[in-house]
Chains A and B, each alone.
Chain A
Amino acid sequence: MSRLAVPKTYKLYIGGAFPRSESGRTYEVVAADGRFLANAAKASRKDARDAVVAARGAVAGWAGATAYNRGQVLYRIAEVLEGRRAQFAAEIEEVEGVSRAVAAAQVDEAIDRWVWYAGWADKFAQVAGNANPVAGPYFNISVPEPSGVIAVIAPQDSSLVGFVSALAPALVAGNSVVIVASERFPLSSISLAEVLATSDVPKGVVNVLTGSPAEIAPWLASHADVNAIDLVGAGGLDWVSLEIDAADTLKRVLRPENGPDAAAPALGRITAFTETKTVWHTKSLR
C-alpha cells in the first residue's frame, strides 16, 4: 500500500508570510546519508532587509502586549509544537540521521524550553528590575525593556533545539527577531515557522531566513535598524568581523557558543536583549 508522498516546499518566513527568496535562489538540503530532501530557499541580503523591516514593524505591538499575553503566546507555541511532535521527530531523524528516540528527545527538549521561557515572560522584570532608594523626594524604578529588533544566527549543528534555544529567549521581553537558521539543518526551522504562524505570534515578530549565514550575517550585523545580534551559531563564521560591523551602531552582541549546550536556557539570555530603563518622578504631599 505505498502512496506517493506530497513533499513540502520550504520557503522563508517574513512578516507572517512564507515567500520564496526574492533572489529566486534555493539550495539542496540533504539527509544524513546524502539523499535529497528538499530545496530550501537561499535568502539574499534583500530578504534580510525585508525581514528587518517586518521585524521593526512588529516591535511596538509585541513589546506593547502585556507580559501575561506574551507568556500565553509562547506557551501556545509549545502546545502546537506538542501536537506536531511526530512530524518534527521524523524530520529531525531524516535530516540529522539520528534515531527516532534521539530525534523525539530533541523535540521534547525544544517544547520544554518554550514552556520554560513562556513562564519567564511576566517574571523576568521583577528579577532584573528594582526600585531604587534614591536620596531625595523621588519615586525611582528600574525596569528591563526590550532592545527592539534582534538578529540571531542560530546554532548550526542542531535542527530544532538550537534554533528554539536561541529564538525563544529573545522573544520573551517583547523583541522581534530575524533568525538565520542552521544552514545544514534548516527544515525544522521552517516547519517551526508554520507552528509560529498558527500560534498567535503576531506577524513579523519572528522572521526566519534560510540559506548561507556567512552571506546574510554581515548584512544583519551592519544593519542600522538592528539593535542586537546574537552570534551564538556564528562560531564557524568570521564572527570577529561581525562584531566589528555591529560596533558601528553600538549593537549589543552575544558571542558564539559551541557544543550541545549552546544557548542553554538562562535568564541572562532574556535580559541580554533588554535595556534597563530608570524612571524618576517627584513625590510630595504638597
Chain B
Amino acid sequence: MSFLDYAPAPESRAILSLRDSYGLFIDGEFVDGRGTPFQTISPSSEERIAMIANANEADIDDAVAAARRAYDRVWSKMSGRDRGKYLFRIARLVQERARELAVAESLDNGKPIKESRDVDVPLVAAWFFYYAGWADKLDHAGLGADPRSLGVAAQVIPWNFPLLMLAWKIAPALAAGNTVVLKPAETTPLTALIFAEILQQADLPAGVVNIVTGAGDTGAALVAHEGVDKVAFTGSTAVGRAIAKQIAGTDKRATLELGGKAANIVFDDAPIDQAIEGIVNGIFFNQGHVCCAGSRLLVQENIHDEVVERLKTRLSTLRLGDPLDKNTDIGAINSREQLDRIRALSDAGVEEGAERWSVPCEIPENGFWYAPTIFTNVQTSSRIAREEIFGPVLSVLTFRTPQEAIAKANNTPYGLSAGIWTDKGSRILAVADQLRAGVIWANTFNRFDPSSPFGGYKESGYGREGGRHGLAAYLSPAPIGRSAAQVTAGRSGAQRRIEGADASAEASASKPKPRARRAGAAKKGAAK
C-alpha cells in the first residue's frame, strides 16, 4: 500500500444534532417562514441536510421590526460594557461548540474540515472576542467622543465562508450598538441557524440579531427595506452595484465587500518553496471560493518554467475528496451553479488559446467537484485573466520588471488584494505602495485577523471590515459638534457614504442627523 493513501479519517458527524427543518430566527425565536421552504444539501454528496424556511417580504417586515424594537428598547440603551459581555459570551460559546460548527460548515459548504476547523471557526470566535472588547471603548474608535450607533443593520453574506462572514458582520455591528437582520446565503444557511441557537444559549435579548433565510429576493427585500439604516453586503460586484444603485439617495450607509482578481506577484528572488505554498494557498484555499484569492499568478519570466513545474509537482500531492476527511485539501464546489460557471470560464480559457493543466485525480461520483487547474500561456486580455472565476483555477502570466508587474497587477477594475514574493525588503515596500488593492500580503497570502482591516479599492467595493476601521463602519460621530470656532463647524458629510473614512473623523464636527425617516420606520415596525 501507499503510505500517502492515508486511510479515510472522517470527522464524525455524530457531534451534530441537526433538526429536520429550520425556521427563521426572529425576535429570539424560530418561526415559520411564509415563503416556500427549500432544502439545503451537502455539495459533496448532493444529500439533503435539512429543510430551510424561506422569508418573504412580510417575514422581512417582522425581522426588521423586531430589530428596531430591540434597538429602541434594549440594545441602544444597554451599556457598552454589557453589550461587550454578551459578545464575550458568544465568543466562548462558539469555542465550546467549535467542532460541531466546523462539521456543520464542511457538510453544508463543502469546504475541507481542516479549513473549517483550523481557520473559519477559530476566526469566528476571535472576531467576537475582538469586537467584544470594543463595545465599551467606542470613544477611541476614531470618531471622537460618544459616537452613535446607526440603528438596524441589514447584512447579506455569501456562501464561501458562511459562519465567518456572519461573524465579520454581526460582531462589529453589535459592539457598536446596532441590531441586526442577517441573511445567510441560500446554499449555506446551516451554521447561521446553529449560531442562532448559540444566541439563545447566550441569552442575547430577543430581536438584537435576527436571521432570515432565503434566496436572492429575500436579500433584496431586506436591503430595500425602509426600516434599515445600514447595509453590509459581501458578494459579487454585480449585486453590490445593484445595492449601491438601490440605496442611492437614501440615508442607508453601506459597506460592500465585492469581487476580486488578485495578482500574486512572484519575483525571481522569492523564497521559492514558500512562494509555491503561497500560490497554492492563494488560489486553492477553500476551492478558490475566496474573493481575495490570488487568481492571477504574475511570475517573473525568467523563473516561469521552474515555478510552473514546481507548482504542478506540489499540486499533485493535494487530496481532493470528502470535506469531512481531515486529510482533504480540496473539498467540493459549493453548488452546481458555481461549478457550471467555473467550467464555462475554464472552457473559455481554452478557447482563447491558454493551456489548461488539471491535477490528475479521482473525482467522486456524486457532488460538485473541480480538480485544481492551472492555465499557462494566458494573455492579459483573456477572460480567465480578467474575470473572477471563484474556483480552483489559476491563470499564470509573466512580467519582466517590477514596473510591469505593478502595471499588470493594477490593470483590473477590481482592487481587493495582492501578493508579493521577494527577498528584497525595499522592493516589497515600494511594490506594496503602488498596488491598488486593500490588502497586500508580502511573502504570505490569505491571512485574516479581526484586528486587521479588510476591504477593496475600486470595484471591489468600499468600507473595511476588521479592526478599528471595521468598527467605524457601524458608527457615526456624536450628533453635537465641538465648538464651531475650533474647526469651522459643519456636519461631516464626508463620512456619509464612505465607511473607511469614518475611522478618522475626530477633528470633524457634526450636526444632528435627521431622524425623521428613522422615526417613521420605528412606527412602521411598531404597527406590525
Contact = CB atoms under 8 A, between A and B. Distances in A.
Chains A and B directly touch (beta carbon < 8 Å): yes
Given A134-B447, A134-B452, A274-B500, A250 B493 contact: no
B444 A282 contact: yes
B249 interface: yes
B485 to A, nearest CB: 12
Contact of A133 (B415, B443, B451, B489): B451
A267 B506 contact: yes
A249 B245 CA distance: 11
B244 interface: yes
B480 interface: no
A105 interface: no
Interface string A225-267: 0011000100000011001101111101111110001111111
A243 to B, nearest CB: 4
Nearest to A139: B442
Interface string B424-440: 00001000110011111
A130 B501 contact: no
A247 B494 contact: no
A252 B498 contact: yes
Contact of B491 (A133, A257, A276): A257
Interface in B448-507: 449, 451-455, 457-462, 464, 467-469, 487-498, 500-507
Given A254-B497, A268-B504, A248 B428 contact: no
Contact of B490 (A124, A135, A252, A265): A265
Contacts of A228: 498
B490 A266 contact: yes
Nearest to A232: B493
Residues of A in contact with B, size category:
35 or more
A243 B442 contact: no
Given A142-B467, A278-B440, A280-B442, A255 B493 contact: yes
Contact of B248 (A140, A147, A169, A247): A247
A252 B502 CA distance: 13
B227 interface: no
Contact of A124 (B245, B249, B436, B504): B504
Contacts of B464: 276
B512 to A, nearest CB: 13
B249 A132 contact: no
A277 interface: yes
Q: Is the interface of A mostly helix, strand, loop or mixed?
A: mixed
Q: Is the interface of B mostly helix, strand, loop or mixed?
A: loop
Given A136-B449, A140-B452, A254-B494, A278 B439 contact: yes
Contacts of B508: 266-269
Given A248-B241, A276-B500, A282-B444, A268 B505 contact: yes
B39 interface: no
A157 B491 CA distance: 18
B500 A280 contact: no
Contact of B498 (A246, A248, A254, A278): A254
A262 B494 CA distance: 10
Among B256, B439, B501, which residue has the most Cβ atoms of chain A within 10 A?
A: B501
A267 B495 CA distance: 10
Contact of A247 (B244, B443, B490, B504): B244
Interface string A101-125: 0000000010001000000000010
A47 B345 CA distance: 39
Contact of A250 (B452, B461, B492): B461
A127 B501 CA distance: 11
Contact of A138 (B241, B444, B489, B490): B444
B70 interface: no
Interface in A123-157: 124, 127-128, 130, 132-136, 138, 140, 142, 144-145, 147-148
A135 B452 CA distance: 10
Among A109, A128, A135, A147, which residue has the most Cβ atoms of chain B within 10 A?
A: A128
A279 B501 contact: no
B241 to A, nearest CB: 6
B437 A271 contact: no
B126 interface: yes
Contacts of A128: 142, 503-504
Interface of A: 109, 113, 124, 127-128, 130, 132-136, 138, 140, 142, 144-145, 147-148, 169, 224, 227-228, 232, 239-240, 243-244, 246-250, 252-257, 261-282
Chain A to chain B: the 6 pairs with minimum beta-carbon distance, closest first: A264-B490, A266-B508, A128-B504, A240-B249, A247-B244, A134-B449
14 contacts: A109-B488, A124-B504, A127-B507, A133-B451, A247-B241, A250-B237, A254-B493, A261-B490, A266-B508, A266-B509, A268-B495, A276-B464, A280-B444, A281-B428
